[in-house]
Structure 1
Amino acid sequence: MKAWLFAGQGSQRAGMGEALFDRFPEYEAVADRVLGESVRALCLDDPDGRLQRTRWTQPALYVVNALACAQALAEGRAPDVLAGHSLGEYNALLAAGCFGFETGLRIVRRRGELMGEADGGAMLAVLGLAPDAVRALLDRAGATDVDLANLNTATQVVVSGPAGSMDAVRAAVRATPGARCVPLATSGAFHSRHMRPAQERFAAFLDTIAFRPPRIPVIANVTGRPYPADGAAELLARQISAPVRWHETLRELVRRGVDEVREFGPRPMLLPMWQSVLAAPDTEREPDAVPGRERERDAVPGREREPDALSRGEREPLPGSAPVRVARDTPAAPEPEPVRDPAAARLGSAEFRQDHGVRYAYLAGSMFRGVSSVELVARLGRAGLRGYFGAGGLDLGTVEQALTALARTPGLDGRYGVNLLHDLTRPGAEDALTALLLRHDVRHVEAAAFTTVTPALVRFRFTGAHRAADGTPVAVRTLIAKCSRPEVAAHFMAPPAEDLLRRLLAEGALTPAEAEAARGLPVAQDICVEGDSAGHTDGGVSLALVPTAAALAEEMTARHNYPRRLRVGACGGLGTPEAVAAAFVLGADFVVTGSVNQCSPQAGTSDAVKDLLAALDVQDTAYAPAGDLFELGSRVQVVRKGTLFAARANKLYQLYRSHTGLDDLDEATLAWLEHDCLRAPLAQAWSRTCAHYRDTGRPHEIERAEREPRHRMALLFKSYFARTHRAAQDGDPAERANYQVHCGPAAGAFNRCVAGTALEPWRERHVERIAELLMTGAARTLAERLAAYTCP
């Protein structure tokens, strides 16, 4: 396996490309026209020192790298995989056929102009420290406005931020044994949050460009994984402000079986980094670095891979070619790890696996506000598993975009579901979401926080239900009902109440045939018993709940004479193979994970939260009031370590319970409320709260608050919960102390489980690999325990 690597800014030098211009005069002519001056003179003579200025450096390097690549293609075969460091990624995409030479030069020229306009920033290479140690160093130095920009190797990290903050960082590095730093010659804080204005302008420019799918895999700086067939514009825009994950890129090459690399660039910069990855201990390397493995993954059954233009020795077309625009709203098909283990595939209910079309009796439960993202759900589906998109807390427009994206993702074959979260304060929202799910023909729903069966659930479950030819009732939709109390589980195990069916018939929400079939089926064929877990929790004990629910399922199956038995699953606290094995021993037909998936590259939350989660131990969670059910005293389990959210949220609930309104609070408490929680004067915070309730169609809440001071206090306090959740998802560094992160002890248990393995860094914890570890480990644990207890 051969890879080509393209160097980026910093590798430039006067005289670069001298032996190449005469060989490719057509490229030189195009570059002169696009740049408005001689590219040869710029590279060879460096007039006025422009080669060190970003707006000129980037197009000059792009041209020289392109010429060197064209020469290499003329001399031999194309590589198996491509990658480029920052600017070099554009040359990798050019070599992969994503755009022509002129189009790429125009893109790079605009990128250089926008990045060159950034000033007041600085970049500093920190040597001898791992990324986590550098993050800790920044925290100690108080450099909250400095980001990790380039993750080049395990011990080479570039930080980026305002120039004024770098003195403190340099001092902190010099005070750290074994560490040193080197200032970089840049005027901007590249690959940091400070480049977001430039990113937004660049994104608008990229919207005018037509990109072709890569003919050769290109590893993206932003993700450390291959570029998708579509979505290049989004990744290139994000690259300006996102860190360059070069170490992950190199490890991905190792994992794909690359054993030969060639660097393109005026100065050798990337080969030493490649050598450092090859020299790393086996525990830091991917466990499946088998040559050709990616070919098994990428192959489409029944179809040979089409030969690409580069592998035929053809040069990238010059201006005048008309690329086909790929639809931007079609998401990329992820490239998951293969999940094949016969022993693990036998755990749980075979009927469950068949009904849900999954490889394992394993589901990834939803997480609030899209933390269970489209990417997470799609990746699991492609791996033969299922996840549930976290629709709770999102508006209908956002959910519809997610449904459209999932429906257009190739290879899912319907293996995705959506969360339906009960909201006592907004029953109409539940009906509207159900209508949306049916309109998009969603077949699988996870129902959470329901205390009883509602018309919306019955409508979803039995739309399309019918009698088979032999008279057996059949439902075409699955409903996983998450319950923590037997009396609630009993409602879902029974057929829908007759009054609900009559109501839905009268409204035209069900047909007579659908209602008739519903009378012979349970509302939910699958009940998931929810033990102590992240988010809303009753603090239940799975050791008691799972056997109880399993016995109830047997009783209800017999009572209603169902054609198929009710199935019971387990969730909550499943962070190790031993815990998953225990769930199956207790009688679970399937398992559902939660917290462990939040610390994966696919989870829809910030890197700051994932860093926090990856450092948790089993005792690092606490209980806090739930923002959506604040007045009722409902609780959620959240991260305690590294955030003050739990303490502050509990104090707010105590104030609500013991006072009649804001006027009842003393001056010190009001000052604390404004400074630490609301981050604004009371009047301003209340104005924002009112605007939120009006925008979401609930002006009656404001009217009630004007009459009831205590309700006004509750609404104002609840705004803190909404803001802290958004701050965590966005990774707002100014709000780190207020991050609200729903999490159970399973996250800490998983951290201990993977310590010292390839999955210790969270960026390696892809969701299908988590599933593979837990299920295959559970099968191995059960086999070992059984052997230990079996008499000779």
Structure 2
Amino acid sequence: MMRSTALHILQWSTPTHRQSLETVRSFAQAAPFRQHALQDIEWTLRHTRKAFSHRVACVVDPDLPMEKGLSRPLVASAASEQLVYVFTGQGSQFSGMASGIYQRCPAARAMIDQGCGYLEQQYGVALLPLLTQRSAANDVALQDTAMAQPALFILAMSYLMSLERSQLVCDTLVGHSLGEFVAACYAGVWDYETALNVVFLRGRLMASAPSGAMLACQLSEAQLDTVLGRDWSQRIDLAAINSPTQLVLSIPDRELAWAMEALEAKVVRYTRLRTSHAYHSRTMNAILPEFSSVITQSCPQLPQRTWYSNVTGKEIDVQAVTTAQYWCDHLCKTVQFSDAVTNIHRQYPNALFFEIGAKSQLSPVISEVTHSVAGVANDPERSPEDQWLTTLATLWVHGFEIDWRVWRGNEGRRVPLPGIALAPQHFWADPSATVMPREEQATAPCPPSTEAPDVKRLWSMILGIDAETLSAEDHFFALGGSSVDLLDLVRQITASGGQLSISDAYQCLHLHAMEDKVNGGRCSADNEALLQSDWVKPFELSGLSLQEKQRITAQWKTRGENGGTLE
């Protein structure tokens, strides 16, 4: 067997969340990867298995123990029906934050090269090393808001281009502060380079404003008067309402000590953000005339799609976002992110909020409204391939279809693999049910067989596999069928005019054998004998001899399937 060197995504779908995790554990125990190439296993799981409502995936590295990759399954509690892109604002940046997407995705690399080339040509700014090379010096450089804002904007746009290549389409957008410029660009208010120019000039103007600080506090808006005093708004500004229990305060340098002491006195948890200025506050008023001119000269266009506004917390007014006044209000006023998330969740109750940025900073506050939250995997400790495949697999387990051919190709062949884990249920017979007298049962004729049912078509329908790919030697359980599926198959064959008992089905698990049995067209003699007996004694569904059972068990073990004990 040729050893694979690339990472692989192993995907399963099951009827329940519990079965998802059990299926991965059963797969690890059966260890079919010891007999078959991972590429073939990946292909088989993706193309030949029946689709269910719950999904689970594992990104595995053939250079590491398989147990490690299988021990970190990606799973969602329920599938989502809508997709919301969430764009992170300033404060999430770190040097080398685009190295993974830059190395892995050609569309992202082209977007990053274009943006960095534009800024270097227009302003002599070298952003590419800050985005792709991790170092302490580059981290310091990214503390400058004039560098951080365009860098974060380029990163988000590069992710968007790569997600588009995967055929993903979002239902709506929302950004936090700087992130709203990403939403506006994606919606068509500006083209890429014009939006980048606006973002760069905005960052440079903001860096020229008086310095200050920002504190993220575990506090509600209603508690501000109690914690900070009634005159707090005369001294500091409310920069953002991120959630019902988290606020961000913008504070001039001279008021910082007072604000921190007041919060500590009331035992309010807070974190100082990595910013050099007090954004979304009155300190930005000094740069409004110049910024207004920048917006006017950029000639904003009517958006081709809508998003949710930081200024109002509601879906945008398409006319308003083409004015300088809107973006000046956006610069100085409170970010109404909490209202935006609440309104989106009301409009799209089954949506996944998918955060795009350097780090997932907004996911915790969104989780106060909905648990359907995820984000790009941007961990510099993981390989670029691992980061990107994990990002795609995360979206897939939440119910979104990915064009895997773009990233994984379509090479592979079907190999026998363990089926999904079962979820047994116990049922008891109704003692009050009317039973046909035994004498009538014994003489009841078999259902007439007019035209033999199409067994291959029924296999295809129940297993979710294209009938053209089925071969005569295929084994029902090896293709992912379960005992419940087999009972359904017997029911459908009978309903189609065929004759197949449950016992017969267990003895005819290969497609050609079942077709031969059904085309034979007579009821099982075993069933007639059972009907004539006074008492149905316990029996096994398989009528095989011990020698035959041992042979089948050996075959299953050879194929890497955990067949269990048949005795």
* TM-score under structure 2 length normalisation: 0.47
TM-score (norm 1): 0.34
